[in-house]
Amino acid sequence: MTDLPLRPRLSAMEAAWVIARRDFVAVLFSRAFLFFLLGPLFPVIVGGLAGSIGGEVQREAVSIEVGLAMSPQDNAAMIATANRLSPQLGRALPVLEQVPEAAQGPAFDARGFMEARRGNYAAIVTGTLAAPRLVGTEGQIARWQGPVGLIAGHALAAEPARFPEVATAAVATSAASERTSRIQTAQIAQMLLFLLTMLLAGMVLSNLVEEKANKIIEILAAAIPMDAVFMGKLFAMLAVSFVGIAVWGLAAFGLWTAGGDAITQVTGFDPANLPAPAVGWPLFVVLGVVYFAMAYLLLGALFLTIGSMATSVREVQTLSMPVTMLQLMVFFLAAYTIKQPGSALEMAAIAFPLSSPFAMLARAAMEPELWTHAGALAWQAVAVLGIVKGGSLLFRKRVMKSGGAGRDKAKKGLWART
């Protein structure tokens, strides 16, 4: 019998590449991935419709009109004064309208009219210009007592009252306004990074649990280093995530191109008006991609470790819940430190691996320094390697508990197939 030459054992990098290529192709061309891509579209559509309908209903239902039940002369003076002051005070003044039912004269009961829920007035003004009386709920009285008194006082004056013109000298920007605008960019970037990470990182866990149920992972563990298996799966799922983000990005671009004005009117958000980050948009986008990759690898490595300890889907759900809550807490930590640059709390958020990508992305929007990002990315990469190493050691110990005979049998079966 002729002895067949054994194939040389793959290096860790080669083994990781084989696993990554296999998982990437398997996930990308599966029907489940197609439904996964379509999944986020339904909440977006439903949320957009609900927001549009809710906004329309609110605009039609909410009224800030204040009714006037004074004498015809006082009503006319109040309305004329409000119109004269409105260009300078704007929404600080209520919209005044005469109450038609008040034409019956002194017999009109403003209190009973309001308690009967007739009309659509926030409050009703009775009495005279010298002694106005505001009838309404406590909240509406607190809101409109001052503006109504201001209007009545100016209407009572003998000469038309006008506020003095204020000379102005505009500047292009200021430190306070620039900082405030960049905070908005940092918050939006953090929220987008968090949503994408939480939405896509779950694929790592489901992929590992499926292969554990089919005993595929044990065969792989017997043939190649478990570190390479974990790294291959992580980068395969990361590549799949970039494919998903590209598809969603193209869909969002097409939707915005088709109805950008309508979307802006409904949502009130226009990306063109988003303040520029401190490092500039091109570099900020690059850093956003890199920090998403690091956040995904960190969370994915944790999920792989959890999957190595779980024996069933129910156990996976139980074990993954604390990690999900932890990720939510570190996101809140990073979001809270946006307004505290250089503080001990921000340094803690940067040092903790799970919150570091979020804190550093916000720093890119707020501060122009770049050297800090190199150090943070290096630290995050070390944390990924550490979590992968720890997870692979934990998995190897759990596999070894089943006995060396099982491992030898799996290894012999794999070499027989080759």
Judge whether 270 lies within some domain. yes
pLDDT of residue 248: 87
Rounded Cα–Cα distance for residues 347 and 61 (Å): 47
Q: Give the total residue count for the chain.
A: 418
pLDDT of residue 129: 86
Helix (H) / strand (E) element for 50: namely helix 41-61
Question: Are 252 and 388 in the same domain?
Answer: yes
Question: Are 148 and 206 in the same domain?
Answer: no
Question: Are 253 and 142 in the same domain?
Answer: no
Question: Are 336 and 231 in the same domain?
Answer: yes
Q: In one letter, which amino acid is 327?
A: Q
Alpha-carbon distances, residue 53 vs 42, 44, 404, 413 (angstroms): 16, 14, 64, 62
Rounded Cα–Cα distance for residues 392 and 227 (Å): 6
What are the tens digits of pLDDT across the range 184-234? 889 889 999 998 898 888 777 777 767 766 777 777 777 788 888 889 989
Dihedral of alpha carbons 119, 124, 127, 128, sign: negative
Judge whether 116 lies within some domain. yes
Q: In one letter, which amino acid is 92?
A: A
pLDDT of residue 289: 95
**Region 114-142 average pLDDT:** 83
Helix (H) / strand (E) element for 303: namely helix 281-309
Judge whether 86 lies within some domain. yes
CA 300 to chain centre: 20
In the 8-state DSSP scheme, what is residue 363?
Answer: H
**Region 129-146 average pLDDT:** 86
Judge whether 164 lies within some domain. no
Written as one string, the DSSP assignment of 206-273 is: HHHHHHHHTTHHHHHHHHS-HHHHHHHHHHHHHHHHHHHHHHHHHHHHHHHHHHHHHHHHHH---GGG
Q: How many structural domains comprise the chain?
A: 2
Confidence category of residue 4, pLDDT binned at 50, 70, 90 = very low
Rounded Cα–Cα distance for residues 283 and 364 (Å): 9
Question: Are 190 and 144 in the same domain?
Answer: no
Q: Which two tokens stand for residue 111?
A: 């209190």
Question: Are 345 and 385 in the same domain?
Answer: yes
Judge whether 57 lies within some domain. no
Question: Are 214 and 81 in the same domain?
Answer: no
Judge whether 49 lies within some domain. no
Rounded to two decimals, what is the model's pTM?
Answer: 0.68
Main-chain dihedrals φ then ψ at residue 413, nearest 5 degrees = -65, -40
| Domain end residue (candidates: 121, 156, 191) | 156
Residues in CB range of 202: below 8 A, 6 or more apart: 303
Helix (H) / strand (E) element for 317: namely helix 313-336
In the 8-state DSSP scheme, what is residue 95?
Answer: E
Confidence category of residue 109, pLDDT binned at 50, 70, 90 = confident
Confidence category of residue 159, pLDDT binned at 50, 70, 90 = low
Question: Are 200 and 314 in the same domain?
Answer: yes
Q: Which of 94-103, 138-147, 316-325 has the lowest mean pLDDT?
A: 316-325
Rounded Cα–Cα distance for residues 175 and 165 (Å): 27
What are the tens digits of pLDDT across the range 57-108? 455 444 457 888 888 888 888 888 888 888 888 777 888 888 888 776 666 7
pLDDT of residue 177: 56
Question: Are 282 and 389 in the same domain?
Answer: yes
Q: For the purposes of burial, counting CB atoms within 10 Å of the CB of 124, is it exposed (0-12), middle (13-18) or buried (19 or more)?
A: buried
CB of 366 closer than 8 Å to CB of 186: yes
Judge whether 135 lies within some domain. yes
Q: Which two tokens stand for residue 85?
A: 């002051």
| Range among 94-103, 106-115, 244-253 with highest mean pLDDT value | 244-253
| Domain end residue (candidates: 122, 156, 190) | 156
| Domain end residue (candidates: 126, 156, 186) | 156
Beta-strand pair 132-136/123-127: antiparallel
Residues in CB range of 137: below 8 A, 6 or more apart: 123
Confidence category of residue 1, pLDDT binned at 50, 70, 90 = very low
Rounded Cα–Cα distance for residues 143 and 79 (Å): 18
Question: Are 320 and 411 in the same domain?
Answer: yes
Whole domain around residue 207: which residue ranges? Answer: 12-42+175-417
What are the tens digits of pLDDT across the range 16-30? 888 889 888 888 888
Question: Are 318 and 412 in the same domain?
Answer: yes
Judge whether 298 lies within some domain. yes
Q: Which of 48-52, 63-67, 312-316, 361-365 has the lowest mean pLDDT?
A: 48-52
Confidence category of residue 410, pLDDT binned at 50, 70, 90 = very low
Helix (H) / strand (E) element for 97: namely strand 95-98
Helix (H) / strand (E) element for 284: namely helix 281-309
Question: Are 104 and 192 in the same domain?
Answer: no
pLDDT of residue 174: 45
Q: Which long-range contacts (CB under 8 A, 24 or more apart) does 86-95 make?
A: 88/163, 89/147, 92/147, 93/147, 93/150, 93/151, 94/64, 94/65, 94/66, 94/122, 94/144, 94/147, 94/148, 95/64, 95/65, 95/66
Dihedral of alpha carbons 346, 351, 353, 359, sign: positive
